[in-house]
Amino acid sequence: MTATMKRLARTFSLVGVVVLFAATPVGAVGETIGTCMFEKIENADLAALKGPANKDALLSFEADLEKCFEAPNPILPEWDEVIWGGAAFAILFAFMWWKGFPAVSRAMQARSDRIAADLGAAEQAKNQANAVLADHQEQLGGAKAQAAQIIEEARAQADLVAADITARANEEVAQMRAKAAADLEAARMQAVSDLRGTVADIAVGAAERVIKSNLDADTQRALVDAYIDEVASTNA
Amino acid sequence: MPDQRVGAYAEALLAVASVQEQSSRITDELFRIGEALRNNEGLLTALGNNRLPIANRQGVVEDLLGDKASEVTTALVSMVVATGIGGHLPDILDAMAELAAQQRNRVLAKVRSAIELTEDQKTRLADAIKSSTGTDVEIRVIVDESILGGLVTEIGDDVIDGSVRFRQAQLRETFA
């Protein structure tokens, strides 16, 4: 029996006791003095009370009648009421034991089961939440580590890029210097070549003018003869 | 123009020229006309333009040659122009000169000179070339004043340049 059912049993027992004792004064209150005396007179053998020989019986009867003037006991009920009240209580208690307690027990059991299930679900949810929290914390930790790694890699990459840019810039500067030097040298060579060409043009032009002025018929013939002699002497 | 057709015209011209009294002069004139046309693209185009009337093209030939060439030479060139292949005259006349040399077991030697060569000079030059190369050549002279002086001889793909212009070029390279 569960603690709840024990509490219910104790509650019903207390109610029964209160009903038992509370019912007694109520029953007594309902019996009037006249009724009491009527019942005693009706139940008494009045013939046996007559005469001096029955003086003691008469005194006893009078004392009995005088009891009708006494107030009922506020605590102890009459026995018949105790019996009826006890029987009613027993019946009620038995009925409650037979029908009420199982229903209440089932309801309580269902409620207990539901609460237990809820507690289990809550525990499971709590466990899941803890697991999720742990997972999130782990992921957060991993993310932090990954972020730190990415930052470190980015910093290293930035350092490499900076070094590469610096190297390229230095290389480009060196190439530009070399190209500038080469261009300067080429320009100088071109200037020298142009100057030579100009000098050659001037010299050859002067020579051509001299040659043309001297290329008379005799000179032409001499040139032809010289050519023929040169060809003839080629195989010599 | 196919080489076969050029050769056929060259043979025909040479055959006609060879039966003339002054065959050597005619073939020499034809050769010089061919070289002159080779260096005058505008005139060559006009002579080869078949959209022009034949009479006009022949008139150009007669105006150009006139009294500068023999009648046979003028007639032969005019005939070629009339057939519509005037644009190929240089090749035809060059082939004719080579063919004429071959018929005499010689190789054509084109000689550029600033002045006309005498027969003696031609003979001595042919002898010099033979002694130099071992080949009998037939000298065809092209008067070209642009070489200033001296001679330039072409035998096939070989060139012997003894011109003043070539010497000037060498001098210019030396200075440069």
Question: One-letter amino acid identity for A6?
Answer: K
CB contact under 8 A, B164 and A223: yes
As a whole number, mean pLDDT of residues A30-53 equals 79
Confidence (pLDDT) at A8: 64
CB contact under 8 A, B121 and A228: yes
As a whole number, mean pLDDT of residues A53-67 equals 82
As a whole number, mean pLDDT of residues A169-182 equals 94
Confidence (pLDDT) at A153: 93
Confidence (pLDDT) at A31: 64
As a whole number, mean pLDDT of residues A193-208 equals 81
Q: In this model, does residue A211 exceed pLDDT 70? A: yes
Angle A6-A10-A13 from CA coordinates, rounded to 5°: 140
Classify burial at A65, counting beta carbons within 10 Å of its beta carbon; exposed 0-12, middle 13-18, buried 19 or more: middle
Optimal mutation site among A199, A204, A210, A219, interface B, most CBs of chain B within 10 A: A204
Distance from CA of B9 to the nearest CA of A (A): 34
pLDDT higher at A23 or B170: B170
Confidence (pLDDT) at B113: 94
Confidence (pLDDT) at A49: 78
Sheet holding B158-163, edge to edge: B137-143, B107-113, B150-155, B158-163
Reduced to 3 states (helix: H, G, I; strand: E, B; else coil), residue B40 is coil
Distance of CA A173 to the CA centre of its chain: 60
- Choose the weakest-confidence range: A216-220, A231-235, B141-145: A231-235
Confidence (pLDDT) at A16: 61
Closest by Cβ to A207, choosing from B162, B168, B176? B168
Reported as a pLDDT band with limits 50, 70 and 90, residue A236 is very low
CB contact under 8 A, B160 and A231: yes
Q: What share of chain A is helix, strand, coil (3-state, %, to 5)?
A: 90, 0, 10
> What does CATH list as the number for B3-99?
1.10.520.20
Below-50 pLDDT ranges, chain B: none
ipTM rounded to 2 decimals: 0.82
Confidence (pLDDT) at A27: 43
Confidence (pLDDT) at A161: 93
pLDDT tens-digit map of A93-149: 999 888 888 888 888 888 888 888 888 888 888 899 899 999 898 989 988 999 999
Confidence (pLDDT) at A69: 79
Distance of CA A222 to the CA centre of its chain: 119
Q: In this model, does residue A215 exceed pLDDT 90? A: no
As a whole number, mean pLDDT of residues A173-180 equals 94
3-state secondary structure A21-78: HHHHHHHHHHCCHHHHHHHHHHHCCHHHHCCHHHHHHHHHHHHHHHHHHCCCCCCCCC
pLDDT tens-digit map of A6-15: 766 676 666 6
- Choose the weakest-confidence range: A64-73, A78-87, A144-153, A185-194: A64-73
Q: In this model, does residue A28 exceed pLDDT 50? A: no
Query: Tell me, what DSSP letter sits at residue A100?
Result: I
Query: Residue B161 in contact with residue B147, Cβ under 8 Å?
Result: no
Q: Say if A235 is an interface residue toward chain B (CB within 8 Å).
A: yes
Question: What is the rounded CA–CA span in Å between residue A219 and residue A226?
Answer: 10
Domain assignments of chain B as residue spans, ordered by start: 3-99, 106-175
Question: One-letter amino acid identity for A10?
Answer: R
